[in-house]
A = this chain, B = another copy of it.
Amino acid sequence: MDPSRDNPDLTEERRKAKFDPEKLGNFFWQGQLKRRRQICDYVQAQGTELAPAQPVPFMTRMEKLEDVARLSVGMRKHAENVIDVGSPQEQFYFNSLICGYDGSPFHLHFIMALPAMINNCDEEQAAEWLPKLFNCEIIATYVQTEMGHGTNLKALETTATYDASRQEFVFNSPTITSTKWWPGNLGKTANFAVVMAQLYTNGKCYGAHPFWVQLRDIETHKPLPGITVGDIGPKFGIGSNDNGFLRFNNYRIPRMHMLMKHAKVLPSGEYVPPMHSKVGYTSMMYVRSVMGEIRPGAGEVKVLDYQTQQYRLFPQIARVYAIAFTGIYIMDMYKSVMANINAGDASLLSDLHSLGSGLKSVTSWQTSLGIEQCRMACGGHGYSEASGLPALYTMAVGGCTYEGENMVMLLQCARSLMKLAAELRSSDRINQRDGKKCANPVTGYLYNVSPPQKCRISQESGPDAYLEAFEHVARRNVFRAYERLDQLRKRGRSAEEAWNESGVELTKASKAHTMNFLAKTFVERTKLMDDPASRAVLENFVSLFLSYELLHCAEPLLEDSFISAQQMEYVRLKMYDSMQRIRPNAVTVVDSFDFTDAELKSVLGRRDGNVYEHLLEWAQKSPINAHDVLPFHDKYLGNYMKETLCRVWHRAIHCRVQSQRARPRHFCCSAHFGSPLTQLTAHIDPFIAQKQ
């Protein structure tokens, strides 16, 4: 580090600072600034041993998995040399320096599996498994989520059926949707797992319970017979985590592998309920589980029936129409402007240029945000590249930058709006009545000499009153920006300084101008639909667009009392009403876009809706799944698990029990993941107390 070779712009910036960054930094890091630097220096001094083999973006997923296995084993040798392994902050920093932030093979082991075992093992189980877990003689994960069910514990379908004749539980995945899906490190790393499954005994179901399930052979690391396990395939990010899937086919575990701290199944098959209901795992999960239903007991409803889901998705469809219809309009306008120019009339050229800049910016950003909302509305599966949505987003969001960065585009649009505003402010009223200018479809509204001063929206009003409101927002924002510019000029700023200091207001003017045009064009184009049933559908989307978008730019309407609180309420009611009207036609509207499966390349967005079997099929094609055991497994994780030296556990227990130090050094292992040590301590303390 040689500051004299720094970029001089940065050096100048640093020189100008009016405070000491060490002091602010130390406050931010709660006094740990010095420690952070010691840790960083140590890691860097180890060179390639604790550094990525190459920049991560150049690695294939296989290479990422290998490198993080190498690093996560490597860092353990060093942890106690440099960090206080009892400090979550230090652990977290140490881990992020070496393994990055995409997870490591031990991530779920410590953050989920170990706490779940501590919480749910009875004494005998704890004595057998906790030492192995702390020692990493095995690597475990926590397996709850199924393909068809996220947070709804009651809906889990995996079954664990007690067979009294052999004192075993028989695991099955009776449907495609029961396939366990998403657990981190499940695909290739973990050889054991805490698995949530519906417990059946003596012919009765007692609900979801946790079981301790071996997945892979300790020696060979191969999946055991009856187990199908693999990687779920590439995701939007976190490529170095082998999030996995798991299916059971008459897979048997001993009775004693049901985790029996709370509920039990006796050898006879008799179910012994927990002393208190909702203890242990259930207490944490119950609340989340009840969110899965609208009417309790009626089962899971279609996600489209949730108002919050409609609110996410339907406005995006409305925007599709508004944007597509405006695109058609603009293409026609382009042709007619070109024809006019050839005939010697370039009067509409600047409007076209300005509008094009505004539309480029507003629509590319709305499109990107919309794709992300759709992706997140799919829950976890949207994050998988199987959904096609990650690639769609990264492609579309590029449009916010290339061919004119969006902020620059908005300012360019504002250029011509400000020219127009200056003209209008300086010209007399007669000129403003110029019929041709008032009729201009893009800027005509600015020439209106007597625009309405009060909003006319009522409970029954159609699009016109809404369009007036959009015009009001646009007019107001344009002239406000102009006045700010003008005032700054009068206060002595140069034209360029005034322009810069008005930047944010100028972009607001451009956005409002553009939104006004989108709204107007959507309304106009919809009138051209001659099939009444289809036009009724479009009109619902027009209503939604007008109400939804108006609520998102209501501030100027309210600020000068153009709109009343009562009218705002009408707008909201219109929005909710539009969503309800859209609901029954929603799927068919999406059908009508006629996007084929071949074009969408999405396992989720498929015509037949049979998403789960195809998701499983898709994942199985992943190159990672060409190997039951990854080629580098033995070299790093396999070898590490077999070095069974009771590495940490004994020290941990002894240290904790004997010294009663506030920060025992017994969580060296947890340095892998920056675990919430507080939580882990809360789990382990009662267990240790028992042992004393």
B288 A24 Cβ-Cβ under 8 A: no
Contact status A40-B598, CB under 8 Å: yes
> Does A659 touch B at the CB level, under 8 Å?
no
Q: Give Cα A36–Cα B7 distance, bound, in whole angstroms.
A: 54
A334 at the interface (CB under 8 A from B): yes
Which listed residue, B10, B338, B585, touches A17 by the CB 8 Å rule? B585
- Are B307 and A24 in contact, CB atoms less than 8 angstroms apart? no
Q: Given that A96-B599, A504-B308, A607-B1 are contacting pairs, would A24 and B534 also be in contact in the complex, using a CB cutoff of 8 Å?
A: yes
Separation of A397 and B368 alpha carbons in the complex (Å): 14
| Chain B nearest Cβ from A546, distance in angstroms | 16
Instruction: Specify which chain B residues have a CB less than 8 angstroms from the CB of A392 in the assembled complex.
Output: 101
- Known contacts A7-B610, A25-B592, A97-B598; can you find 6 more A-B pairs with CB under 8 A? A6-B610, A27-B529, A54-B621, A55-B601, A57-B386, A308-B411
Q: How far is the CA of A43 from the CA of B504 in the complex (A)?
A: 48
With the chains together, A602 CA to B294 CA distance in Å?
45
A294: contacting residue among B233, B497, B551, CB under 8 A:
B497
Say yes or no: B293 contacts A496, CB within 8 Å.
Answer: yes
Residues of B within 8 A of A494 (CB): 295
User: A205 in the interface, Cβ–Cβ < 8 Å?
Assistant: no
Residues of B within 8 A of A10 (CB): 587, 608-609
Q: How many residues of A contact B (CB 8 A)?
A: 153
Bound-state Cα–Cα, A500 to B292, Å: 11
Report whether B9 and A302 are in contact in the complex, using a CB–CB cutoff of 8 Å. yes
Other-chain contact of A376, B391, B401, B565 (Cβ < 8 Å): B401
Knowing A28-B593, A97-B596, A587-B14, say if A296 contacts B496 (CB, 8 Å): yes
Q: Does more than half of chain A's interface fall in helix, strand or loop, or is it mixed?
A: helix
Q: Are A395 and B238 in contact (CB under 8 A)?
A: yes
> Smallest CB–CB gap between A523 and chain B, Å?
15
On chain B, the residues within 8 Å of A529 by CB distance are 24, 27
Choose the segment among A78-86, A422-430, A552-560, A665-673 that binds chain B (4+ C-beta atoms closer than 8 Å): A552-560
Q: Using Cβ atoms and an 8 Å threshold, which residues of chain B touch A435?
A: none
User: Which residue of B331, B390, B397 is within 8 Å of A372 (Cβ)?
Assistant: B397
User: What CA separation (Å) do A592 and B22 show in the bound complex?
Assistant: 6
A 604-627 binary contact with B (CB < 8 Å = 1; else 0): 000111110000001001110000
Residue numbers in B under 8 Å from A610 (CB-CB): 5-7
Listed from nearest, the 4 A-B pairs whose CB atoms lie closest are: A237-B394, A7-B609, A17-B588, A21-B592
- Chain B contacts of A383 at CB under 8 A? 398, 401-402
